[in-house]
Amino acid sequence: MKLKKLLAVLLCAAVLISAFFTLCSAGEKQTQYLVLGDSIGYGAGVANPEFGAFGRIVADTDGFGYTNDAVSGHTSADLLSRLSDPTVASHVANADIISVSIGGNDFMRITAKLIADARKGDMTRFEQIKATFETNFDKIVTRLRALSPDCVIVAQTLYNPAPTESTRQLYDAAISRVNDVITSYPGILVSDVAAAFAGRNELIAADNVHPNAEGNVVIARTVLKTLYDNGLGTETEPVITVPGRNWAEPAGASILTSIRVFFVRIIEFFRRLFRVS
């Protein structure tokens, strides 16, 4: 009974603090942050992507409004098509900063064919897919600019998740082509996730593809640094409001973890409050 009362008091305090913060922030336009793209953008490598995805961490750290329209499995063609959806288009029009995570599935959907070609020394399909991605990526950026002329676009480089050395070389052949397009595209910011993940297989989830909870924190840190360096953010170290859970972890959070999260929220609230004032 005492525990229930304690939790009730903590919940009430959290609501009051949240309401107070909202009143203090009234009149200030909140920066709107949107994530577009594929499963990495969605947060597929964690069991609770609504909290553990890198986009949520970035938004919580810098106090941004947050929307995630990424879809697992999407290619650059899928993302381009998705921008015609009225709901997504409205989110883009309202966004100040847009993170784009795309390109991996352009190659991954036909991995078997690409492997067979590469083993024969034929890289024709690699170059064809790169050319298609380059065309789609240009159309994506153009569409984003048309919907939100003043938005800042932050594209991520692809990391290599290959678990073995033999597959790593094939992945590199694909990934380097996508990253060449991204890093050479004018007028956007590039967050070098590939460099942050290099040689760090501990950041990859059990499926050997997606970033795990720690990996999402690393991506968030990379994006935060990119924003900070360009005068678009105030923090470089991620603030973890609710920790991401790796797939193997239990779904229920313990009472102690819940209390810890509550006090983290309080500390972060006052930190932001005094920073604003």
What pLDDT does 75 receive? 96
Q: Which residues contact 199 (CB under 8 A, 6 or more apart)?
A: none
Is 72 a residue whose pLDDT tops 90?
A: yes
Question: Domain spans of the chain?
Answer: 30-247
Asked if residues 101 and 41 have their Cβ atoms less than 8 Å apart, the reply is yes
Residue 80's Cα: distance from chain center in Å?
18
Strand segments (E) across the chain: 32-37, 65-68, 97-101, 152-156, 189-191
**What pLDDT digit, counting tens, does each position of 117-136 carry?**
877 888 888 899 999 999 99
Exposed, middle or buried, 155 (CB in 10 Å: 0-12/13-18/19+)? buried
Contact between 154 and 188 under an 8 Å Cβ cutoff? The reply is yes
Q: Which residues pair with 53 in a beta bridge?
A: none
Question: What is 30-247's CATH number?
Answer: 3.40.50.1110
* Predicted local confidence at residue 107, as pLDDT: 85
Per-residue pLDDT tens for 235-256? 999 999 999 999 875 545 444 4
Residue 267 has pLDDT above 60, yes or no: no
More confident residue, 225 or 272: 225
For the segment 32-41, the average pLDDT, to the nearest whole number, is: 98
Q: What is the pLDDT of residues 142-163, one digit of tens each?
A: 999 999 999 999 999 999 998 8
Cα separation, 160 vs 187, in Å, equals 25
pLDDT digits (tens, 9 = 90+) for 180-198: 999 999 999 999 999 999 9
